[in-house]
Structure formats: C-alpha cells, structure tokens
Structure 1
C-alpha cells in the first residue's frame, strides 16, 4: 500500500527560508515631534490575508498609507516583490487601496464606477465594460450594473468599491476599515465574502481594522499594533491562545488578568502565589523564570468551569459568589466575585449545561486546568 499523501503547507510564514512578498524594513514615520510608526519590521507573503489590528492612533492606517505611497517614511524601506518602493509614486505601485468611505462617484452607474480606472488608462469602452461585468459577477452584483450608488445598500456599495479596487489586478489590495460602515450582521456576512474573493483571485490583502472579531475571522495572520509598534504577529489561534504580553491578551477577546509571584518550581509543575485568586495557582513549568519574580496570568473566561460542588480532580479551584448572569442565546456570561473581592468573568455554552442553571447570588466553585493560566512576563 502506498504512503498517504500529505497536503502541502499553505502557510509560507512558517518556513523561515521563504522570502516574503512584502518586506517592511525598520519603517519609522514622524509627524513633527509625534512618532506614528516606530521602527516596524514585518514580512507578508504572497496570497496572505494579513490584518493590522489596533486601537485608534496606534499607527496602523499610517503604515497602510506608506505601503500605498500616500505617506513617505521618515526612515526605513518598503519592498514589494523585491522592488524598493522608495521612489515609486502611488499610481505606479502594484497596489490599490479601498477606503472606508468607498468613495464611489454618485453620478455614475455601478458598472461605470467599476470600469472607471480602466477607462482612464485608455482601455476601450467595450473591453473595460466587459472586465467590469466579470468583476461584478465575482462580487455577486451582476444585475446591478445600471443602478446608481444611492440605489444600493451599504453592503452592496462595499462590494462595488471592492470590484473597482480589484479590476486593475493589483498584486496587493490595501483595505482601510473596509467593513466599518456596515451593521453587525452584514459585516459578519461580508467577512466571508471577502475571504472567498481573496482566495479566488489569490491577491495579497492587507486589512486595517480595530475590530478584533473581524481580524480573527479574516486573517491568515494578525499584527497587533500599539503606540506605533507591532506587539505580536501570529496566526489568529496563536495570538489568542498564546499572547506575548498583557496588552495583547487584554486586547484580543476577553480575559481575566492576575498578578502573581513565582513561589516554587518542580519538574512537572510550578506554583505561583496569587493573592487575588486566594492562594497558590499551579501552572506547567516555565523556562527563564526565577523564584520571587513578578508575573501575570491570563485566564480566558471560557477556560473556567463553574460548579455548585467542589470538583475533586481540579488542580486550581477558586471560591466565589455569582453577582451577574448574562444570557446571550448560545452561551451565558457570569460575573463572579471571589472571596478575595476580585471579580472574574466566566462564559459557558448553554447547550452543555445540565440540570438547573447557576443563577444570581449562588455560591460557586470556579476551577481551571493549569495550562489555562497563561504566564506572562510583560
């Protein structure tokens, strides 16, 4: 019997020998005394859907504008497909940018909006409109070509803007908060449309967003930005499960953060003194830590189990009282005040609960496995 075929790994960033398609080398951008982007280096591979994630003013849009050529770096270099972009103007770069406002021409039909860039370049009307029809079919708007933008919904205008940005076949599409103007349900639906289109065309997408759920859904990898620097780059699961700092842990999803002190270490377990938790917390052994060192523990709400009776086999058990319960259909969120006075957040799927659900003012045990308490040093 022949050996089973193993699918090729489509994650080139896991191979340190692979050359990135986009190289951002020690980029800094200053506006007077203010440093918007500070010595950022980053590699993005061909065909990625990469998200720059961060709050307002963190530098993510400035970095995107430097990629597009709308801002000039104060220091550093940007290479796309091996070519230094330093002296290449925006209209000569292998990039196109889709803005949050969509910037559609209100007096033009949808098909003319999409074909506009090709017409400006001198392409024949027949060929340009044929290409526009292909793009509108890709974004599932083939029957809307004769309408004006005001006759479309927000989600439809977003897809027209996407078709217009893609029709010139850029190697890189830059999207600045592309779904920010859509309502929650439409935004969620459009996220998967973006993924489908990106995978179909194979174009490298770089998306700027402040929405952590959007980044987690869209991205092959995420770069979390703060104060002009990239705190961590990784796949969505890696960023969520193994944050490198308290900021990343707190920014991505919901988390309970505890301050603790390294108390003792054994080959199979390490003990942390954690006053907010009411005593010792057991975690897997960590390298590079010393006795007495201050650390922090990141504990995700879904990694905690609530029970009325003390669990026999749990290594870490906290005692507290339920202060609030929020029911959101598929899950419930609990705010539990520990006997130490510290409040923690716990989430549990409703379909897994048996018997009478835990409610307000009940005394409960909150337990978690040692590996759920992620130890952070910064």
Structure 2
C-alpha cells in the first residue's frame, strides 16, 4: 500500500512559516437562511496531520466537515485541498473520503465485500481489489474476519471495517465524523490508540470531528476548538490545555477553577491580582499585556493546586477552605473545597499510595496553594 510522508515529531510543519498547507480554508462562511452555522473560518492543515475539530452541539464543526467533503457549499470563502480550489468540484471527484458515525456498513455483505464495494464501482481489476482488501484487513487487524457479516462483529470491529472501507480508495484526505461515538468508554479508549497507529502507518491526512475533549487530546496533532461557528483557538493539545486563550476554552477543555480579580501590580516579570473570590492575592510570575487596574480572570487546573493541613510559607497564592466532598475515582481523588470566600474549588490528587491513611478527609479545614506559573491569565 502506498504511503504518504509522515509528520516527524520534531518537525511540526505548522511551526514553520514557509511550510505549505495541504488543506487551506479561507474565510469560509455557511449560512442556513439568516443563521451562520460557520462564520468566517480560516484554517490551515498540513499533510500527515491528525487534526481534530472539537466543539459542542451546534458549534459548526460538522458543517465545516461537510463543506470539505462537498456535501455543503460555502456561502462565502474558499476551500483548497492539495493546492486545488474545491469550489466547483463535486464530492465524488474530490481526493476525499468520509467515515460516518453510524459506519453505514451494508448488512447483506461480508467484511471483504464491504471494503471492496467502492473499488469495484471504480472498475478496478479484481486482482488489485483483492490485494487492497487483504492489505487493509491486515492493517486493521481483521484478517480472520473477512467472511463475517457486520452483525457478527463487535462495535470496535465494525468501526475498523468502516475505516478500512473509507481508506480503500486511497484518499488524500479522510474525514471522520464522531468516529468513536458509538463505542463504550473502555473500547473507545482502546480504539483511539489503534486509530492513531493506523493513521501514522499510512500517513493519510485525517480530520476528525468530535465533541469529546479527551478523545481530541488523545488523537490529535492539533486541535481547532469551535464555538458558535467560529474557531476559538487552534493549537497542539498541550497548548490548548495549558495555555487557553479565553474563559470558554479553559472551561471547555478539561476542568478549570476561575477567579475574577483586578490587577494591583503590573511589572515586566510579574503581576499581582486582587481576587476576593480566591481569598488571597494571586501572584503570576510573568508579565501580562493588560492595563492598570484591569479586571480579568485567572484560571487554574484542579491538578495544579496543592492541598495541605499546614499553612505553606509565603504571602501570596495561599488560601483556605473546608473540604465539602470527595470523589474517589481510583487513580485520582477529586476534592470539592469551599473557600472562606464561599467560592467552590475543584482539586484533584493522584492516588500514588495504596490505602493512604493520611489522606485528607471530609469536613477538614485545609490550605490550598499553587506556584506562580500554575495558572492562566485571561482577559476574554
């Protein structure tokens, strides 16, 4: 099976201003009557990427995917794939295939016939069809299941058959709409890694639409977070999680504790935020582009907060509260702490010790503290 160039972990073409995008979405808008499902979106995706469009219901991610496939026509803007303007190109002539959430397998055909269906419609020689089907069955680890019907397969196996069928015609770009949505949680987690391995083996550019934040973080080279038809932020998973650019992204990706405050010190190497909600001064160990006395928000992830019975040293980034609830999740424990200000804060702690008798309990008064670089300053 032919391979396209892979993305090496140390190259990351999106960091290279001279790199040429494989997919270029230019100021695309899609309106249904007077409602803009997608509003002035511009996006560049590079060859060999596994790019995730992440957003809630109605964010515009599936509409954008359908425009890439040619099933919807942009109201304004252009879409280019591999340097070619797709405006007048019908879906069946695009170098694209799409895998739907329902998998849409033919129930009366066995696995081999399902994978071969699109190839036979292209009048490809039967020997080549058989060779491609065998290669794909081996790739998705279903070599022994070729004669089975879809109803004889598990959900994860049906998902892999649908993926093999979508890859059979060797598209330059594969679009996947909620590809793991029909699987249970454990199987979905296992299949995520299989999907990444298949994509890396082939080097085909994947664009995945999902509403599942963990799925996007596990799969993607980069994520485009969508909100109300617009791109809220684009970045690698670590950037999106650790450096959100807005309250929306901070709250949508994972969990974040948000404190409103006012800047009281604004220096080139640090700022101080007065936040009655936090019940303490918040020290940030870097400068921020903000005005004096500006009102802003400071967000911190639950795992970045340290819980202790004794007060740590220091004058900033230390507050106090009462443990209101504890959720034991096996690998982690989630603490709900009500600060003296009345603000409820979520803190997570890794359970590295088995049966920790010294663990903090319900109704204990505790101190919460964090490092100067632990949170994100947000102005929007």
TM-score using structure 1 length: 0.96
The secondary structure found in structure 2 opposite 1:20 is: coil
Structure 2 equivalent of residue 23 of structure 1: 24
| Superposition pairs of residues 1-378 of structure 1, within 5 angstroms | 9-313=10-314, 315-351=316-352, 356-378=358-380
Partner Cα separation in structure 2 for residue 242 and residue 273 of structure 1: 21
Partner Cα separation in structure 1 for residue 161 and residue 314 of structure 2: 57
The secondary structure found in structure 2 opposite 1:276 is: coil
Asked if 2 retains the 8 angstrom alpha-carbon contact of 1:332 and 1:348, the reply is yes
When structure 1 is superposed on structure 2, of 119-128 and 141-150 the one drifting more is: 119-128
When structure 1 is superposed on structure 2, of 93-102 and 125-134 the one drifting more is: 125-134
Give CA-to-partner distance per residue, 1:121-176, whole Å, 9 cap, x none. 11233321221111011000000000000000000000000000001000000000
Q: Which runs of 4+ in 1 moved over 6 A?
A: none
Deviation, structure 1 residue 294: 0.8
Structure 1 equivalent of residue 4 of structure 2: none
The secondary structure found in structure 2 opposite 1:370 is: coil
Structure 2 equivalent of residue 4 of structure 1: none
When structure 1 is superposed on structure 2, of 286-295 and 16-25 the one drifting more is: 286-295
Deviation, structure 1 residue 328: 0.9
Partner Cα separation in structure 2 for residue 179 and residue 219 of structure 1: 14
Partner Cα separation in structure 2 for residue 340 and residue 148 of structure 1: 61
Residues 8 and 145 of structure 1: is their aligned pair in 2 closer, same or farther, counting only changes over 3 Å?
A: closer
Deviation, structure 1 residue 307: 0.4
Partner Cα separation in structure 2 for residue 129 and residue 266 of structure 1: 68
Asked if 2 retains the 8 angstrom alpha-carbon contact of 1:321 and 1:361, the reply is yes
Give CA-to-partner distance per residue, 1:273-318, whole Å, 9 cap, x none. 1010113211123232111111101110000000000012574101
TM-score using structure 2 length: 0.96
Partner Cα separation in structure 2 for residue 311 and residue 280 of structure 1: 15
Partner Cα separation in structure 1 for residue 270 and residue 217 of structure 2: 32
Asked if 1 retains the 8 angstrom alpha-carbon contact of 2:281 and 2:316, the reply is no
Partner Cα separation in structure 2 for residue 16 and residue 352 of structure 1: 47
Deviation, structure 1 residue 352: 5.9
Aligned residues: CA RMSD: 1.3
Give CA-to-partner distance per residue, 1:80-119, whole Å, 9 cap, x none. 1110001111111000000000000000011000000000
Residues 38 and 267 of structure 1: is their aligned pair in 2 closer, same or farther, counting only changes over 3 Å?
A: closer
Residues 231 and 93 of structure 1: is their aligned pair in 2 closer, same or farther, counting only changes over 3 Å?
A: same
The secondary structure found in structure 1 opposite 2:98 is: strand
Partner Cα separation in structure 1 for residue 69 and residue 136 of structure 2: 22
Partner Cα separation in structure 2 for residue 351 and residue 34 of structure 1: 50
Give CA-to-partner distance per residue, 1:348-372, whole Å, 9 cap, x none. 1111696511010000000011111
Asked if 2 retains the 8 angstrom alpha-carbon contact of 1:276 and 1:342, the reply is yes
**Ranges in structure 1 where 5+ consecutive residues have no aligned partner:** 1-6
**Ranges in structure 2 where 5+ consecutive residues have no aligned partner:** 1-7
Partner Cα separation in structure 2 for residue 323 and residue 8 of structure 1: 43
